[in-house]
Chain A
Amino acid sequence: MSSLETFRTQTRAWLEANCPASLRGPAAAGELVWGGSRIEFDNEDQRLWFERMRDRNWFCPAWPEAYGGGGLAPEEVAVLEQELKRLRCRPPQINLGIWMLGPVLLEYGTEEQKQRLLTPMTRGEVRWCQGFSEPNAGSDLANIRTTARDQGDHFVVDGSKIWTSYGDQSDWMYALVRTDNSGSKQAGISLLVLDMHAEGVQARPIDLISGKSSFCEVFFDSVKVSKDNLIGPLNGGWTLAKKLLQHERSAMSKFGEFSLPTHFDLMAILRDYLPVAKTASEVVLEARAQACALDEQAYNLTVQRMGEAARAGQDVGGIASIMKLVHTEQEKTKFEILVDAMGHRALGWDGDEFSSQELAISKAWLMSYTQTIAGGSSEVQLNVIAKRVLQLPDASKGGAK
């Protein structure tokens, strides 16, 4: 048996033995565990699964062991992911830091920063949020105005961020700040990490179309941040930010793979609301659903192909650039079809008149609109594909009117 097959056998046996049965299959809303200082478990199984995966160093299986990672080779990580998926294990915890900041720190952080910031991440002790967007800096992210002034041994941060997911519940933030105004917009940006419990930081949740949320407005009023929290070079944050956004998009394109509460089986639910398509419009609805299900299959195969191509050493930049766009647009289409099929049963807000699944679908449908905006809107993704992958000319340079 090849060593990879041995690894698969062992991994499968370990997961069978250690992932509690109650944590296999999709999670209901509110059943996910978020790592951090204020971690909460709904039940003993969640705590066990969290601790077992943590102690196995599998929160970050690909990271070096020196920082608490699992030290696995890419092929082994792929096997672990396949086996987790096979058993439909829920993620033991969710932590934005691991998906987005971690890989950037591994590449650009100092040794001291890696030790100090990565190790608690791999133990699920710190919850991270992303402070990039501002009221006037959305798609045009380089337009940020929140400033960090150099005060000798520390920076002082002033300004505000918006759409900060889980800003009110996080321990630390990685933020883009303006450290220079003299050159181009991009050239005066730095990446800082800062303590959300520090004096002068205030987070206020914003209500969304789907209801109460953890998307926050965050205000900074003369917040002191020590200099060793600058990641990468001063005024060199833009390059890191672009890298980080790539990690964010690739994480978002994988949301469908986790057994997240927003995952609903289209054809199974359709069966309940449209058991037999009779009229012409019902037949059309069924065909739309079928096309959507097949598109999802084509997408999943593309995820798989990208993994294989990457492991074979091929350039996957082109495929990678479509993943977030495709996944989030497909999800939106899927919910549109569900809502059409379910009629008013998908339009419930709260109360006993609707089943919990119906209410969950309504919320997830409304939330699906956030995904084609967050992490770079679909239009921005299309711009990226057109310019970077297809090498189409720039409007500004071409002088298009």
Chain B
Amino acid sequence: MSLIYNEEQRMLLDTAQEFFAERSPVSALRALRDGGNAQGFETALWNEMTELGWTAIPFPESLGGLEFGYKGMGAVFEAAGRQLSASPLLSSIVLCGSILEQGGSEAQQNEWLSALIAGSKRLALAVDEGARHNPEQISLSATRTDNGFELNGDKVMVVDGLGSDGWIVAARTLESPASATVKASATGKEGISLFIVPAGTQGVCVTRQSLIDSRNTARLSLKQVELAPDCLIGELDQGKALLDAALDRGRVCIAAELQGACEQLFQTTLDYLRTRVQFDAPIGSFQALQHRAAWAFVELELARSSLMAALHAIDSNDEQAPQLVSLAKWKVGQMADRISNEAVQMHGGIGVTDELDVGLYFKRIRVLQALLGDSDYHLSRAAPTVDAA
């Protein structure tokens, strides 16, 4: 196992850090927000990221990729996290790209994957339906019709779902509209199919879910949406494995973004502890704060190890990958809650103002924590159970 970045990955990390610091510092997010930009990212920045080849990192050369792996992706996400830089890398490349790479037909790959890598099109993944992430409980339905499929239902928390060229929608396949009975078990892995729904398809309604992080999040309502048979990705009813693999790639990238954001936020907080003077002393000399800062550092280190193990597991196709990804999302999430809380508290009054960037970090961190499963979700998924025997 390798839990550190190698030379090439380190170089990518450095390049990405310089790039985001210069091209998309936190002030860029503030400007997007204040300008009311619903797309949630800057198209010019996305084009530059594409030109740098970052959209090709995880894919095999045969599909126009760089085969640089998820350690490489992790490095870019970490760097983006540090500056809260906004882009559709997660939605279009990691989540939808993975599904098309692993399950898309040649035609789908030609039409969509190349365009995603080139940045000329983008897709967003629609999975969640309830208040909390739970891909085991999908009820948006896909019913077979004479001409293909009919989809009905709602999706929420669709990352970058506004203005995308289409969506990949996870649906539960039903036998026929008449019976409306669920084909396989109502929950679990059975009976899930994935569909590409191109933008502009009749019956699709997209609404913005304006979240605290000012990014692009959408609700997708599908009413009697007719899809041609070639919109199905992979085999009918066999979509869950594809979906899970893509979700795990997404989760590990979210963990990397969180790690980067938290490391930066922690540095900012340490700077404040060293410089803010009260009672004629820098507040960082107070032991109560020192010990809490030291614990925060401990958590950062433990989270970092879990993150690296998960990135490595994805790259080496380790069968333990799902467990390690959930360990990472759990540990990083816990750390992120702690660091974001402490950052706000240790800044005192100024910490709860909009003027300071600390609040922007806090809000983005909390959205990432919830995205594709919060710590509680991943605790259950990662942990050994008592009755496992």
Contacts and interface: CB of A to CB of B under 8 A. Distances in A.
B298 A385 contact: yes
Contacts of A401: 279-281
A319 to B, nearest CB: 6
B263 to A, nearest CB: 12
Contacts of A398: 281-282, 284-285
A390 B303 CA distance: 17
A309 interface: yes
A13 B302 CA distance: 34
A252 interface: no
Contacts of A275: 386-387
B294 interface: yes
Contacts of A391: 270, 274
A374 B383 CA distance: 31
Contacts of A276: 386-387
A266 B209 CA distance: 43
B383 A305 contact: no
A322 B301 contact: yes
Contact of A392 (B270, B308, B386): B270
Contacts of B1: 304
B386 A286 contact: yes
Interface string B219-263: 000000000000000000000000000000000000000000000
Contact of A274 (B289, B305, B386, B388): B386
B384 interface: yes
B327 interface: yes
A401 B280 CA distance: 8
B290 A294 contact: no
Interface stretch (A65-73, A241-249, A295-303, A364-372): A295-303
Nearest to A311: B4
A79 B244 CA distance: 35
B306 interface: yes
A381 B379 CA distance: 28
Interface in A173-198: none
Nearest to A270: B386
A391 B266 CA distance: 13
Contacts of A305: 3-4, 304-305, 308
Contacts of B388: 267
Interface in A345-397: 379, 381-383, 385-387, 389-395, 397
Given A275-B387, A289-B386, A400-B279, A392 B290 contact: yes
B3 A304 contact: yes
Nearest to A381: B294
Contact of B284 (A270, A286, A392): A392
A294 B285 contact: no
A157 B305 CA distance: 47
Contacts of A392: 270, 273-274, 282, 284-285, 289-290, 293
B62 interface: no
B386 A298 contact: no
Contact of A271 (B286, B330, B383, B386): B386
B19 interface: no
B305 A312 contact: no
B291 A379 contact: yes
B301 A395 contact: no
Contact of B297 (A294, A295, A385): A385
A397 B327 CA distance: 41
B281 to A, nearest CB: 4
Contacts of B291: 379, 382-383, 386
A15 interface: no
Given A399-B280, A400-B281, A294 B379 contact: yes
A28 interface: no
B309 A301 contact: yes
A308 interface: yes
B331 A302 contact: no
B186 interface: no
Contacts of A3: none
A276 B2 CA distance: 37
A234 interface: no
A141 interface: no
A393 B274 contact: yes
B287 A302 contact: no
B389 interface: yes
Nearest to B284: A392
Interface centre among A326, A386, A400 (most CB of B within 10 A): A386
Nearest to A389: B297
Interface in A270-321: 270-271, 274-277, 286-287, 289-291, 293-295, 297-299, 301-302, 304-305, 308-309, 312, 314, 318-319
A298 B306 contact: yes
Contact of A395 (B285, B294, B383): B285
A325 interface: yes
Contacts of A386: 287, 290-291, 293-294
B285 A393 contact: yes
Given A270-B386, A294-B327, A383-B287, A299 B293 contact: no
B330 A294 contact: yes
A275 B304 CA distance: 33
Given A382-B290, A383-B290, A304 B285 contact: no
A10 B2 CA distance: 23
Nearest to A378: B291
A312 B331 CA distance: 25
Contact of A390 (B286, B294, B379): B294
A390 B2 contact: no
B352 interface: no
Contacts of A397: 285
Contacts of B294: 381-383, 385-386, 389-390
Contacts of B308: 301, 305
6 contacts: A309-B4, A325-B298, A383-B290, A389-B294, A393-B274, A393-B285
Given A304-B3, A305-B3, A400-B281, 9 more contacts: A275-B386, A290-B385, A294-B327, A295-B331, A318-B297, A322-B297, A386-B291, A392-B273, A392-B282
Interface of B: 1-4, 270, 273-274, 279-282, 284-287, 289-291, 293-295, 297-298, 301-306, 308-309, 327, 330-331, 379-380, 382-389
Interface of A: 267, 270-271, 274-277, 286-287, 289-291, 293-295, 297-299, 301-302, 304-305, 308-309, 312, 314, 318-319, 322, 325-326, 379, 381-383, 385-387, 389-395, 397-401
Chain A to chain B: the 5 pairs with minimum beta-carbon distance, closest first: A290-B383, A398-B285, A386-B290, A398-B281, A305-B3
